[in-house]
Copies of this chain bind each other. A is one copy, B any other.
Amino acid sequence: MNPNESVIERAARGLTAIRERHPLVHNITNYVVMNTTANALLAVGASPVMAHAPEEVEEMVGLADALVLNIGTLSREWVEAMVVAGRAARRRNCPTVLDPVGAGATRYRTETAQRLMVEARPQVIRGNPSEILALAGGDGRTRGVDATAGVDAAREAAEGLARERRCVVAVTGAEDFVTDGVRACRIANGHPMMGRMTGSGCIASALTGAFLAVESDAWVAASATLIAFGICGERAAAECLRPGSFGVRLLDALDGVTPADLLADGRVRIA
């Protein structure tokens, strides 16, 4: 990372690059958010594809600029597909994001997320505090797929996990925390309404794939995503505080947000 350029400047540049290059983001994700995720990627300027058949995931990864693995509605066959896709992505240097939805809630989720960390070696893991605590071996106390722990409680776990797995860990909450084990920042963008629609975390993970496709520094890419997405959440909330309308406006904002908006409204501090 060019030390003369801030994370926010890089976020603005990343957004421009997504809209110029339309990176193909291959998602193996959960049923609940497939539609919203695809629409969010399209809105921001990326090109989504969903594919999970073992017969084709390797070939699809070969076409993709980033891979996003999300265990929100996992099952045996889907996990196997994620493993195959994750390995193919490693071989091809296709950057990968892992969203460990619900890790800590059930043993199956925790173990699957841990297995995918090893098999797919994701560049970025994005989760809520409970999920990150669970992945780091702590007690996530996840309640269903919702976070109960605060971001601060997961700070050490995130840093340890980042160092151990040599990846970036993005913990999202009222304030987001992004670390690669050495560098760390806090992002104050976002709005509580984002927690009132299903899949806002999953959208953040998918968008991270889009930024990773155009930004080789994964810590910058993960931070850039949360700045941009957080600003979109603020804009949508400024227009409507009811969850149905908010979801519609959030997609509108992903389309309408400009690099200049990120420069104007990004709120990041090195932690």
Q: Are B252 and A144 in contact (CB under 8 A)?
A: no
Q: Are A107 and B51 in contact (CB under 8 A)?
A: no
Q: Which of A91-113 contact B (CB under 8 A)?
A: 102, 105-109
Residues of chain B lying within 8 A (CB to CB) of residue A43:
196, 243-244
Give Cα distance in the complex from A30 to B27, angstroms. Answer: 14
Residues of chain B lying within 8 A (CB to CB) of residue A55:
76, 106, 108
A24 partner, pick from B49, B107, B143, B245, beta carbons under 8 A? B143
Check: A216 CB closer than 8 A to any chain B CB: no
- Closest residue of chain B to A74 (Cβ to Cβ) is B53
Give Cα distance in the complex from A50 to B105, angstroms. Answer: 12
CB distance from A140 to the nearest CB of B (A): 12
Residues of chain B lying within 8 A (CB to CB) of residue A188:
none
Q: Which of A47, A51, A251 has the most chain B CB atoms inside 10 A of its CB?
A: A51
- Closest residue of chain B to A35 (Cβ to Cβ) is B32
Check: A258 CB closer than 8 A to any chain B CB: no
Check: A120 CB closer than 8 A to any chain B CB: no
Q: Are A105 and B49 in contact (CB under 8 A)?
A: yes
Check: A87 CB closer than 8 A to any chain B CB: no
Give Cα distance in the complex from A44 to B144, angstroms. Answer: 17
Check: A270 CB closer than 8 A to any chain B CB: no
Give Cα distance in the complex from A36 to B248, angstroms. Answer: 13
Instruction: Mark the stretch among A11-19, A57-65, A223-231 that contacts chain B.
Output: A57-65
Q: Are A244 and B39 in contact (CB under 8 A)?
A: yes
CB distance from A207 to the nearest CB of B (A): 14
Check: A186 CB closer than 8 A to any chain B CB: no
Q: Are A42 and B198 in contact (CB under 8 A)?
A: yes
Please encode chain A, from 247 to 271, with 1 for each CB lying within 8 Å of some chain B CB and 0 for all others: 1111110111000000000000000
Q: Besides A42-B243, A244-B251, 6 other CB < 8 A contacts?
A: A33-B35, A39-B243, A39-B247, A49-B145, A60-B144, A244-B248
Listed in ascending order, the chain A residues whose CB lies under 8 Å from chain B are: 24, 26, 30-36, 38-39, 42-43, 47-53, 55-56, 59-60, 63-64, 72-77, 102, 105-109, 143-146, 196-199, 240, 242-245, 247-252, 254-256
